A and B are shown apart, each in its own frame.
Chain A
Amino acid sequence: MRIVSWALASLIDAGLAVGVATLLCGLAGIGDDNADAFAFGVVGAACTALTAVARRRVAPPARPTAGRVFAGIGLLWTVLVLFGAAVYAGTGSLGRLDDALVESAAGFSTSAVTLLDAAEASRTVVLFRSATGWVGGLIAILIAVVTMPVVLRSTALIGYTTGRRGQDLVPNASTGIRRVLILYSGFTAACVAAYLLSGLGPTDALVVGLGTASTGGFTGRVDSLAGYGGGTHAVAAVGMLVAGAGIFVIWWIVRGRVSPLWRSQELRVFVLLLAVATAAIAIHRDIGWGEAGFMAVSMMSTTGFAVADWTGWGESAAVVLLVAAGIGTMLGSPGGGMKVMRARLLMGSAGGELRRQLDPYALILVRRDGETLTRRTLDRLGGHQVAFVVLVGSGAMLLGISGVSLLGSVWGAVSAVSTVGPAMGEIGAYGRLEGLGRPGRLALVPLMMGGRMSIPPLLAGVGLVLRWYRVAVRQSRFQSRLADRRHARSESGNDDG
């Protein structure tokens, strides 16, 4: 007898990936800190074995409902973060549970903020931190590219990949998962190899490579990539660009297809925005084009690598980077942010509204890669935008209340929701969380997770919880009424007797 549940099935698959990653981290750490290596190895092996057994007992439903899938996604991320926190706290890598929770959330949400002290942390722990980011990136891509369009068979949620290019890469769920896994792993391997060639050691190359491919941005060093040479910076910049461009661009590159690359409006806008951001930073201030371009790519791909302390570059450069981080990556990327396509469509929608004021009877069409979007879809996009602003606003308020400065709160909220990490103010250019108080660090957790889940699953999760609550209240009322009636009947029966 198999249990049919989408949430459980996806949780077990993710658990298997995390288990294998933990086991490999334990194995890789042998010879550095054997106690850590043993602990991680045991946890990883147990997790792998448990999920492998459970996988035989659980199956996903053929046609899951949207609400269940979204709730399952919320559950999946929550369990992963709790698992990571338990590993950090259980193995003694981070002494306090709240610190472990923050580190785990930062890892799985691919945010480049950390509490780990690279000088003290063992190789196993550093690799595990990188691996959580890599797994987080993989799950984010699979949700965006496979789950939403294929499992839900819905084009309702703009921002997830549908249409021709989606079917090209993901004709069905199993093929899609396999292809994404191969492409993502291959891209990671290419990044690691390039870093090795640029002169990094094997562990550093692996850590930075995982951080590049997943847009996690974790390097295991207190100064991010500032201490490395120009070659490493160049590799990182190219890697971030490709990672931010997403899995479809990697697919086109691997298949040698030039025409989709040229035709993609989203890619053109992405590159154009990067160029504008680079120019805006470099022209206005006396900053080198290389550094400006690197930081623009880093922020827009939501990776969070830094080659210099950009918080001292001036106010306008900071705003440009903030906007770049807010817009984020292309669809199908492990990065976060509002997404380039959504930003472009919102601009088109705003332009359309302006035109409608002039010509109320005009038929205004907003198109995406040749497809005309319905009014309904655009309205949902509006709702999505409002939710994004509300999430950032409430996050900033939460950070402000928890004692972070005004500037640090605004920047921190945008950065956390976009899964970047580094921010102006207390967090700083290198994403060190020591400058934040404990309430501030904990306030980052829901923001990073909210940004990682992306808005629709987050909204649906909230909606589902509300619906469950409503059903529970209704049931309890019904039960109490039933009990009252029974009580009244029994009393009247006693009276008759």
Chain B
Amino acid sequence: MYRFPIPSAVGLGQGPHWRKFRSTTLHVTGISLAAVSAGLLACTLLEALTTGRDTIALAVSTVLAGIAGGVLWYLTRPGAISKRKVFATVGWTWILTTLVGAVPYLLAGTFAHGGSGFVEQAVNSVFESASGFSCTGSTVLADFEAPGLGLMMYRQLTQWYGGMGVVVLAVAVLPFLGVGGLELISAEAPGTSSDRLTPRVSETARRLWIVYLGFTALAAAALFMADGFSSVYDAVAHALSVASTGGFSPHPASIGHFGSVAVETVAIVFMILGGASFSLHWRAVATRTLPHYRNSEFRMYLFLLVMCSAAVIALMWLKAGLPLGPSIRAGVFNAVSLGTSTGLSNATGAGSLGDYVTWGAGAQFVLLFLMVVGGCTGSTAGGIKVMRMQVLGVLMVRSIRQAQTPRAVIPVRLGRDVIGEGVVSRVAGFFLLHFLLVIGGLLVITALGGELETSLGAVVSALGNMGPALGEAGPTADFAAPFSLPARLALALLMIVGRLEILPILLAVVPHVYRARALARVVRH
């Protein structure tokens, strides 16, 4: 193989021979950008065949992403990856992919309305890209008619990439490192090793891709039929959104654009499935059974969705005095949409029944609770995750019992299984970090000029990858008006932090990660 002549004087090579630069981060980023480039190519073709407004921008972006990805992939080789480096790799890969993913918007001038300068356009592009890749679905796009169909499809595609990326991260990569989702799943579900689906992580990832692809195709077909076979484009665009629990829509009124109960019902079903573990879906397909009902997390997830939907409907009907039928429709859709961290809306406009910011504080609190909880572990959904909430609930109950009998040894149980103390303290630590990030994010966003209620909703929404927030950033509004440019950047960062479940981004910026240290040591706080 030909090796590029990289001078050792700058530290990129070693000795007299030319070698590839060893960097797992850049190598993985290269592969990621190549994948994005493939998606961009498809969108370029779509744009060229339909509206044709942004063809050049998309084509240039495709070439740029392809070259960048190819060069990074070719020039680098993955090194022996240590546990510490993995976080940095994951964190930086997402950041770099998000930045490159913003290029199509920038080149197409998507945010060049109203005399906005380069900086504003760049910030908006990064925000939109981060929102897409993190499957958040918040937007700063004001004019939905300006971008071409290809660019809008690229916008939908970013969230689809992000959804799959996170599934692989949560179920395939992070458990390999002993962190996060799978350990939680394995603590509860019977046959813990099968949650990796196969002994090989790459094979697991491949199978999850298959499930994800099939799931998306099924969603597209169902939406196409529910919409009366009217638009393949809309069906595919929204299927990408519900499968990834992203929440972007090519229409300003989101699902409300269709005004169809059938479409909303199909979206509800697929959003619920999108918020459930993809490992369970794989097992359901592979074994032709329904393992979902034996999974306590899934049962709790459904229970929460049902109870919160009922609470929202009751509050809308009894407290806000809204009519019962439309309240059921709007309440269930929005509760499921936010409970699965999708963020689609069935509001037809500001102040319409689906606009939940008009429902009163009680109903909004129920929705806020759902936003914090999020979906199941191993799914594309964001939030703290139902399994973690279960562990926290049991931890609290144990605190109650230990307050009465301080010397008792009380294990934490989920179902019949005892959760290890390490997992319990990790979950408690995660919850604490999430809580601190909400507080810190709120301080930053309000300091940057955000209104308090809107900022609270936006921070919770960004960290939980929901999409719409509260107040001025509700389901019928965009994030451009209520937030300044620095606040938008901060929210974009929070979206990625939330999507990667906090640790990778936090640890990616800790200098300690990049230093060689002895493993066993004492840290004093």
Q: Which A residues from 23 to 76 make CB contacts under 8 A with B?
A: 65-67, 70
Distance between B378 CB and nearest chain A CB, rounded to angstroms: 19
Give Cα distance in the complex from A224 to B352, angstroms: 42
Closest residue of chain A to B503 (Cβ to Cβ) is A357
Q: Which of A156, A319, A359, A383 has its CB near the most chain B CB atoms (within 10 A)?
A: A383
Give Cα distance in the complex from A456 to B406, angstroms: 11
Q: Which B residues from 192 to 220 make CB contacts under 8 A with A?
A: none
CB neighbours (8 Å) of B225 from chain A are none
Give Cα distance in the complex from A448 to B455, angstroms: 26
Is A363 a contact partner of B520 (Cβ separation < 8 A)? yes
Is A375 a contact partner of B403 (Cβ separation < 8 A)? no
CB neighbours (8 Å) of B510 from chain A are 354, 358
Is B522 a contact partner of A363 (Cβ separation < 8 A)? yes
Is A284 a contact partner of B361 (Cβ separation < 8 A)? no
Q: Which A residues from 352 to 393 make CB contacts under 8 A with B?
A: 352-367, 375, 378-380, 382-387, 389-390, 393
Size of the B side of the interface (Cβ < 8 Å), in residues, is: 68
Is B395 a contact partner of A386 (Cβ separation < 8 A)? yes
- Is A350 part of the contact surface with B, judged by Cβ < 8 Å? yes
CB neighbours (8 Å) of A314 from chain B are 446
CB neighbours (8 Å) of A361 from chain B are 519-520
Is A349 a contact partner of B507 (Cβ separation < 8 A)? no
CB neighbours (8 Å) of A407 from chain B are 452-453
CB neighbours (8 Å) of B395 from chain A are 379, 382-383, 386
Q: State the main secondary structure of chain B at its contact with A.
A: helix
Given contacts A358-B513, A365-B522, A400-B364, contact A387 B507 (CB under 8 A): no
Is B455 a contact partner of A315 (Cβ separation < 8 A)? yes
Q: Which B residues from 245 to 259 make CB contacts under 8 A with A?
A: none
Give Cα distance in the complex from A466 to B404, angstroms: 12
Is B452 a contact partner of A463 (Cβ separation < 8 A)? no
Of B84, B392, B513, which one neighbours A386 at CB under 8 angstroms?
B392
Distance between B500 CB and nearest chain A CB, rounded to angstroms: 12
- Is A154 part of the contact surface with B, judged by Cβ < 8 Å? yes
Is A66 a contact partner of B443 (Cβ separation < 8 A)? no
Is B425 a contact partner of A378 (Cβ separation < 8 A)? yes
Is B432 a contact partner of A346 (Cβ separation < 8 A)? yes
Size of the A side of the interface (Cβ < 8 Å), in residues, is: 76
Give Cα distance in the complex from A397 to B365, angstroms: 6
Is A359 a contact partner of B521 (Cβ separation < 8 A)? yes
Is A350 a contact partner of B436 (Cβ separation < 8 A)? yes
- Is B435 part of the contact surface with A, judged by Cβ < 8 Å? yes
Closest residue of chain B to A363 (Cβ to Cβ) is B522
Distance between A202 CB and nearest chain B CB, rounded to angstroms: 41
Closest residue of chain B to A346 (Cβ to Cβ) is B432
CB neighbours (8 Å) of A459 from chain B are 396, 399-400, 403
Q: Which B residues from 437 to 456 make CB contacts under 8 A with A?
A: 439, 442-443, 446-447, 449-453, 455-456
Give Cα distance in the complex from A379 to B365, angstroms: 28
- Is B428 part of the contact surface with A, judged by Cβ < 8 Å? yes
Is B362 a contact partner of A400 (Cβ separation < 8 A)? yes
Distance between A102 CB and nearest chain B CB, rounded to angstroms: 20
Is A405 a contact partner of B361 (Cβ separation < 8 A)? yes
CB neighbours (8 Å) of B221 from chain A are none
Give Cα distance in the complex from A157 to B521, angstroms: 28
- Is A406 part of the contact surface with B, judged by Cβ < 8 Å? yes
CB neighbours (8 Å) of A384 from chain B are 399
CB neighbours (8 Å) of B396 from chain A are 383, 386-387, 390, 459
CB neighbours (8 Å) of A152 from chain B are 406
Is B525 a contact partner of A367 (Cβ separation < 8 A)? yes
Work out how many contacts link A and B, with CB atoms closer than 8 A. 205
Give Cα distance in the complex from A132 to B522, angstroms: 48
Given contacts A361-B519, A380-B399, contact A66 B406 (CB under 8 A): yes
CB neighbours (8 Å) of A365 from chain B are 522-525
Give Cα distance in the complex from A315 to B445, angstroms: 9
Contact with A along B340-370 (1 / 0, CB 8 A): 0000000000000000000011101110010
Give Cα distance in the complex from A330 to B48, angstroms: 66
- Is B431 part of the contact surface with A, judged by Cβ < 8 Å? yes
Given contacts A352-B525, A387-B396, A409-B361, contact A357 B179 (CB under 8 A): yes
Give Cα distance in the complex from A396 to B453, angstroms: 13
Closest residue of chain A to B518 (Cβ to Cβ) is A359
CB neighbours (8 Å) of B87 from chain A are 357-358
Is A401 a contact partner of B403 (Cβ separation < 8 A)? no
CB neighbours (8 Å) of B470 from chain A are 406
CB neighbours (8 Å) of B392 from chain A are 386
Is A315 a contact partner of B429 (Cβ separation < 8 A)? no
CB neighbours (8 Å) of B503 from chain A are 354, 357
Q: Which B residues from 65 to 119 make CB contacts under 8 A with A?
A: 83-84, 87
- Is B51 part of the contact surface with A, judged by Cβ < 8 Å? no
CB neighbours (8 Å) of A354 from chain B are 429, 433, 503, 506-507, 510
- Is A89 part of the contact surface with B, judged by Cβ < 8 Å? no
CB neighbours (8 Å) of A462 from chain B are 400
- Is A295 part of the contact surface with B, judged by Cβ < 8 Å? no
Distance between A103 CB and nearest chain B CB, rounded to angstroms: 24
Is B425 a contact partner of A379 (Cβ separation < 8 A)? yes
Of B179, B442, B446, B523, which one neighbours A364 at CB under 8 angstroms?
B523
Given contacts A67-B405, A156-B406, A456-B403, contact A382 B432 (CB under 8 A): yes
Of A352, A360, A396, A409, which one neighbours B83 at CB under 8 angstroms?
A360
Given contacts A406-B365, A456-B403, contact A319 B432 (CB under 8 A): no
- Is B288 part of the contact surface with A, judged by Cβ < 8 Å? no
CB neighbours (8 Å) of B446 from chain A are 314-316, 318-319
CB neighbours (8 Å) of B404 from chain A are 65-67, 70, 460, 463-464, 467
Give Cα distance in the complex from A67 to B405, angstroms: 7
Give Cα distance in the complex from A459 to B84, angstroms: 39
Distance between B464 CB and nearest chain A CB, rounded to angstroms: 15
Q: Which of B178, B398, B447, B517 has its CB near the most chain A CB atoms (within 10 A)?
A: B447
Distance between A432 CB and nearest chain B CB, rounded to angstroms: 20
Is A362 a contact partner of B406 (Cβ separation < 8 A)? no
- Is A186 part of the contact surface with B, judged by Cβ < 8 Å? no
Contact with A along B399-417 (1 / 0, CB 8 A): 1111111110000000000
Give Cα distance in the complex from A393 to B368, angstroms: 10
Give Cα distance in the complex from A409 to B369, angstroms: 14
Given contacts A460-B403, A462-B400, contact A401 B362 (CB under 8 A): yes
- Is B304 part of the contact surface with A, judged by Cβ < 8 Å? no
Is B402 a contact partner of A362 (Cβ separation < 8 A)? no
- Is A296 part of the contact surface with B, judged by Cβ < 8 Å? no
CB neighbours (8 Å) of B84 from chain A are 358-359
Distance between A436 CB and nearest chain B CB, rounded to angstroms: 13
- Is A92 part of the contact surface with B, judged by Cβ < 8 Å? no
Given contacts A157-B403, A350-B429, contact A355 B523 (CB under 8 A): yes
- Is A194 part of the contact surface with B, judged by Cβ < 8 Å? no
Give Cα distance in the complex from A261 to B512, angstroms: 33
- Is A424 part of the contact surface with B, judged by Cβ < 8 Å? yes
Is A350 a contact partner of B433 (Cβ separation < 8 A)? yes
Give Cα distance in the complex from A384 to B428, angstroms: 11
Give Cα distance in the complex from A156 to B87, angstroms: 35
Q: Give the 5 A-B CB pairs with smallest separation, nearest first.
A: A383-B399, A353-B429, A348-B525, A382-B428, A400-B361
- Besides the contacts A352-B429, A401-B319, what 13 more A-B pairs have beta carbons closer than 8 Å? A67-B404, A156-B402, A156-B407, A157-B406, A284-B447, A354-B503, A360-B178, A360-B519, A375-B421, A382-B424, A384-B399, A406-B361, A467-B404
A-binding residues in B (CB < 8 A): 83-84, 87, 178-179, 315, 319, 360-362, 364-366, 369, 392-393, 395-396, 398-407, 421, 424-426, 428-433, 435-436, 439, 442-443, 446-447, 449-453, 455-456, 470-471, 503, 506-507, 510, 512-513, 517, 519-525
Contacts A/B (CB < 8 Å), 15 sampled: A320-B443, A348-B525, A353-B429, A354-B510, A357-B87, A358-B83, A359-B84, A363-B521, A364-B522, A380-B402, A382-B425, A393-B369, A400-B361, A406-B361, A424-B452
B-binding residues in A (CB < 8 A): 65-67, 70, 152, 154, 156-157, 280, 284, 314-316, 318-320, 323, 346-367, 375, 378-380, 382-387, 389-390, 393, 396-397, 399-410, 424, 456-457, 459-460, 462-464, 466-467
